[in-house]
Amino acid sequence: MLKNFKLTIEYDGTDYHGWQIQKNDRTIQQEIEIALFTMTGERITLVGSGRTDAGVHALGQVANFTSKTKLAPDNFQNGLNSLIPEDIIIRECCLVDKQFHARFSAKSKTYHYQILNRKTPSAVGRQYEWFISQKLDIEAMKAAACHISGTHDFKAFEGTGSPRSHTTRSVITADIERDNDRIAFRIKADGFLRYMVRNLTGTLVDVGLLKINPEDIKSILASKDRSLAGPTAPPHGLFLINVEY
Amino acid sequence: MLKNFKLTIEYDGTDYHGWQIQKNDRTIQQEIEIALFTMTGERITLVGSGRTDAGVHALGQVANFTSKTKLAPDNFQNGLNSLIPEDIIIRECCLVDKQFHARFSAKSKTYHYQILNRKTPSAVGRQYEWFISQKLDIEAMKAAACHISGTHDFKAFEGTGSPRSHTTRSVITADIERDNDRIAFRIKADGFLRYMVRNLTGTLVDVGLLKINPEDIKSILASKDRSLAGPTAPPHGLFLINVEY
């Protein structure tokens, strides 16, 4: 009988070309599928909740796979963790309903973007944050984040060259928090367009630099024009925190 | 006229063989001295507040050097940061008194040791914490840390093969804090013996594993016998946080 397994996965994306399998580049999906083949002898396709770009990290990516295996979830967790590189960790493995599909069953996802805002870069943890030396106006950024919440057409924040037919998404929460030199942007939505979090972050940083007014977020959204929004923030400050089902 | 410069340095020790210059290994001191030579043409010796072992990190290592240069502290900070690898950052550079000596003028130092205590290791930040999967009794560890504070002969916690004639040190604070899965041991003292923080951490972990009673710290100190203390914690969880002058 075919069993359906759900994996919760943490990874350091620094040395990977993102989640999804590619011909010539190292990816997270590939590393786990190779280990699944070693464990089961089956050519298993792992279904992720969605792609993460090259260099993006995850604390709670979710994926599922089906197998005829007699192995238990614990065997998979321990076995995979001993086979995959140390920059990928299976945090949880459990049996789920046949109907569970990591992508289609997802109700929402939460991302976190980390910025370091001080005069000098960091050495410790530099792989996990975007360094910005100019002073950022945190209150302006918070005001701008408020305009992101809600249901909007996010076409202006979609990566060019990757159009979707349907570009309306519902942002459940969008918050900016400052903790000393570190600024975190946390966003939860029912779905994300390609580069959406990084484009929103780049735009919020432009607000913090006083290049864009907080109120302008509304007109940028209305314009559906990518060229009016800010730059794409680099991938290494971005974390997929959680997928909600 | 000879000027005396003080540097405050952050580094990720992962790829280094510690602070101090060595013949065949890459060290922090060496990387900065090479950059100082490039900037000044002088063969400058950097005086650190003390060594850090291979793999140990620093947020606030301090060093000083003298030079006949006409360059200002800001020139050194910016110039060095553009010349040295990105896993070393000069956080501050300032002119100090001729008498200032990074090692001999230090009044105390603060170290921090980071432990991850949960069932599965981390992928993100794994370079910066010691993973322990067995449950640690945090209250026992806190009680044990209390016995470390004060002036004691720390011979039992000194690395073997590196004896000092004088092994009494005054520990100003020694605290254990838990924040979810992370446990931090923070210690400030007027000086440290080689491996002292890592040997204390390994012993506190043995207390947390209930292999040693909190009260036993007192008898281990009194014994001056290294074999009674716990193992040496790995270097990658250790951070030199600050040097106080």
Reply yes or no on domain A3-96 having CATH 3.30.70.580. Answer: yes
State the pLDDT confidence band at B161, using cuts at 50, 70 and 90: confident
Q: And the tokens for B37? A: 């030579």
The per-residue DSSP string of B210-235 comes to: TSS-TTHHHHHHHHT-GGGS-PPPPG
Among B87, B90, B126, beta carbon nearest to A86: B126
B33 three-state secondary structure: helix
Strand partners, B171: B150, B189
State the pLDDT confidence band at B182, using cuts at 50, 70 and 90: very high
- Cα→Cα distances B76→A196, B36, B84, B92, B94, Å: 39, 8, 12, 9, 9
User: Would you tell me which CATH number, out of the four given (3.30.70.660, 3.40.50.970, 3.10.20.600, 3.30.450.40), belongs to the domain B108-244?
Assistant: 3.30.70.660
Nearest to B132 by CA among B197, B216, B207, B194: B207
Among A57, A87, A120, beta carbon nearest to B89: A120
Average pLDDT over residues B114-133: 97
The domain locations on chain A are 3-96, 108-244
Active site residue B74: no
Distant-in-sequence, close-in-space partners of B28: CB < 8 Å, separation ≥ 6: B9, B11, B13, B16, B18, B19, B52, B58, B61, B88
Residues B75-121 pLDDT 10s: 999 999 999 999 999 999 999 999 999 999 999 999 999 999 999 99
Model pLDDT, residue B18? 96
Q: Please determine, for residue B162, whether its predicted confidence score (pLDDT) is greater than 80.
A: no
Model pLDDT, residue A201? 98
Strand partners, B152: B169
Complex ipTM value: 0.93
Assess contact for A218 and A146: CB atoms under 8 A: no
Interface test with A, best of B61, B118, B120, B182 (most A CBs within 10 A): B120
Model pLDDT, residue B1? 84
Residue numbers in chain A where pLDDT is lower than 70: 162
Distant-in-sequence, close-in-space partners of B143: CB < 8 Å, separation ≥ 6: B207, B214, B215
Contact state of B124 with A88 under an 8 Å Cβ cutoff: no
**Partner B contacted by A118 (CB < 8 A):** no
Question: Phi/psi at A116 (nearest 5 deg)?
Answer: -105, 120
Average pLDDT over residues B151-157: 97
Contact state of A123 with B88 under an 8 Å Cβ cutoff: yes
Mean pLDDT of chain A: 96
Q: Do domains B3-96 and B108-244 have the same CATH topology?
A: yes
Residues A45-91 pLDDT 10s: 999 999 999 999 999 999 999 999 999 999 999 999 999 999 999 99
Catalytic pick among B53, B97, B175, B216: B53
